[in-house]
Amino acid sequence: MDPKLPTRPLLSHLFFVSILLLTIFHPRADSQGEYCRHPARPVVITPHNRSDSEPQQVHISLAGRDHIRVSWITEDKKVQSVVEYGTAPGKYDAVATGKHTSYQYFFYRSGKIHHVRLGPLKPETTYYYRCGGHGSEFSFKTPPSTFPIEFAVVGDLGQTEWTKSTLEHVAATDYDVFLLPGDLSYADSQQPLWDSFGRLVEPYADGRPWMTTEGNHEEESFPIIYPHGFTAYNSRWVMPYEESGSPSNLYYSFDVAGAHVVMLASYAEFEPGSPQYKWLEADLARVDRRITPWLVALLHAPWYNTNLAHQGEGESMRVAMEELLFKARVDVVFAGHVHAYERFTRIFDDEGNACGPVYVTIGDGGNREGLALSFKSPSSPLSLFREPSFGHGRLRIFNGTHAHWTWHRNDDSQSTMADEVWLGSLVSSRNCMRDSGDDGLQVQPSASSKDEL
C-alpha cells in the first residue's frame, strides 16, 4: 500500500475491499472470435515514491497557439510554480512562472497543484524541462504545425492492469496528441485515487499533450457541500478553456496542425441559450477551414449507440447540439461512456447523411467496471463495426482531404488492429460545403473508395 496515502476512514477501506470483490467475482465473458475476451482486471495503485518537493503526476496539455501547459503536484507547499526548459538536455535557457491551486474534499486535502504555461514553442521539437527546480528532468515533443498529425484516442481509461496494457500499446507507436473523451481516474470521490491515476499516466502524459473532457466519473458532486462537482478534475486537469474563449474548463477547443478539435461537455448545460451552446456556436463560426480543414468533436455520452449500456443517455444533448455540428460540417465525433468500440457511418438526425460526422464510441480504455458486452439485435444499418473489447484508436490525418482511422484491440494483452477506415474530409466535398453555405473553399473532391467514408 502507498505509504504516502493519508489515513482513510473506514468507508474508504470498504471501498477498496468492494473493488477487490467486484474484480474477483466479475463473471468471465465467453470466448468470442479468435481470442479470449477477458473480464475487468484489478485496480493498480501507483505509489508515491519521491520526496515531497519533487514533482509528481506531471502531465502536459496544449495551451493556445504554440504553447504547452505543464501541470504537476508537490506535497511540499513551498515549491514554486516555475518550469525551466530548453531544447537540449540539462540546458534550460527559458523559465516560465505559473499558478498553483489546491482543494479540499471532505477530509482529503490535495497537494500543491502547479500549472505553468510555456511558450512560444517551436513545432515538432523536443523540449527538456524541470518542474519547481527539483527532481528529474522530463521531456516532451510539441505537435507538428502541418500535416501529417496523429491522435491517439482512448476513453474511460481508469487505472487497472488493462489500462496499463492500453497505455503501453498507445506508446509503442509514436503519436502527437492524446485525446480522452471522459472518465479518467474512476476515483469516484476517493481522492487518493486521483493521485494514483496521475502517477500511473505520468510516463505517457509528461511527453505528449493529453487533452481531456469530462465524464460522469469526474463529477463527484455532493448535495449542499459540493453541489457543482468537478472539483478534483478542474483543479488537476486544466484545459485551454480560457485560451479558447470558453467560460468553463468543462468545454473548450484547440487548433493543432490542420485540425480544429472541440471538446464538449456532456455534464454541463447544453440547451440552446446555455453558456456552452452559445460558446460552441461562436467557436464553430470562427473556424477557418482553409487553415484547419479537419473538424473533430469529442464528448462523453454517445449520441449514437447500439450497445445496451447507457441507451439514450446522450439523446437530449444530441437533440440540442447535433444541428450545430452538422451545419459546421464536423468530420468525426468521438464519444466514450459505453465500454466497447463502435463505429458508425456518417449520420445526421438518425439517418445516414454524406455530410454528417462519422460517429465513434471508444470507451474501452480498460477501467475497473469492465466491458459492455451486449449490443442490440438486430444491429442498425448505421452501425458499421462494433465489438466489446478493450483497446484504443488512432486518427492519422495525412493532409487536408484524407485521414486514416484505426482501432486497436487489446488482444490477450497484445495490440491488434481490428478496424480501419479511410476518411475523406467534408471540406473536400463540394456538395457538402455548398450545402453548408460556405462557398469560400474550392478543394477538389477526393476520390472515394469502398472503404472510405
> Which residues are designated catalytic?
310
Distance separating the N- and C-terminal Cα atoms of the chain? 49
Closest separation between CB of residue 305 and Fe ion, Å? 12
For Fe ion, which is the closer residue by CB, 183 or 331? 183
Cell numbers found for residue 27:
463473471
Q: Can you give the binding site for Fe ion, defined by CB under 5 A? A: 183, 215-216, 337
Please say whether the beta carbons of 331 and 262 come within 8 A.
no
Q: Is the CB of residue 211 less than 8 Å from the CB of residue 239?
A: yes
Residue closer to Fe ion (CB basis): 258 or 363: 363
On whether the CB atoms of residues 57 and 205 are closer than 8 A, the answer is: no
Classify strands 358-362 and 341-348 as parallel, antiparallel or unpaired: antiparallel
**Which residue lies nearer to Fe ion by CB, 182 or 198?**
182
Tell me the residue nearest to Fe ion as measured from the CB. Answer: 337
CB 186 within 8 A of CB 370: no
Residues 361 and 340: beta-carbon distance below 8 Å: yes
Distances (CA, A) of 301 to 127, 267, 298, 350: 36, 9, 10, 16
Q: In terms of CB distance, is 60 or 297 closer to Fe ion?
A: 297
Smallest separation, CB 154 to Fe ion (Å): 13
- Nearest Cα neighbor of 397 from 409, 385, 406, 407 is 406
Give the helix ranges, DSSP H, for 270-341. 275-286, 315-327
Nearest approach, Cβ of 217 to Fe ion (angstroms)? 6
Residue that is written with C-alpha cell 485551454 in the block? 240
Nearest approach, Cβ of 96 to Fe ion (angstroms)?
A: 34
Find out whether 404 and 422 touch, Cβ atoms under 8 Å.
Answer: yes
Identity of the residue, 3 or 312, whose beta carbon is nearer to Fe ion in the bound complex = 312
Cβ of residue 389: shortest distance to Fe ion, in angstroms? 17
Considering the complex, state which of residue 183 and residue 387 has its C-beta at the smaller distance from Fe ion. 183
Nearer to Fe ion, 158 or 215 (CB): 215
Distance in Å, CB of 156 to Fe ion, minimum = 6
> Which residue, 163 or 244, is less far from Fe ion as judged by CB?
163
Single-letter amino acid code for the residue at 91: K
Identify any residues that bridge with 128 across adjacent strands, giving them in sequence order. 86, 139
Closest approach, Cβ 307 to Fe ion, in A, equals 12
CB 179 within 8 A of CB 261: yes
Cβ atoms 422, 449 nearer than 8 A: yes
DSSP state of 427: G
Least CB distance from residue 80 to Fe ion, whole Å? 36
Q: Where are the beta strands (DSSP E) in 87-155?
A: 94-97, 99-101, 104-105, 108-109, 112-118, 126-131, 138-141, 149-153
The DSSP line for 344-406 is EEEEETTEE-TTSPEEEEE--S--TT-----B-SSPPTTEEEEE---EEEEEEE-SSSEEEEE
Phi and psi (nearest 5°) for 120? Answer: -70, 145
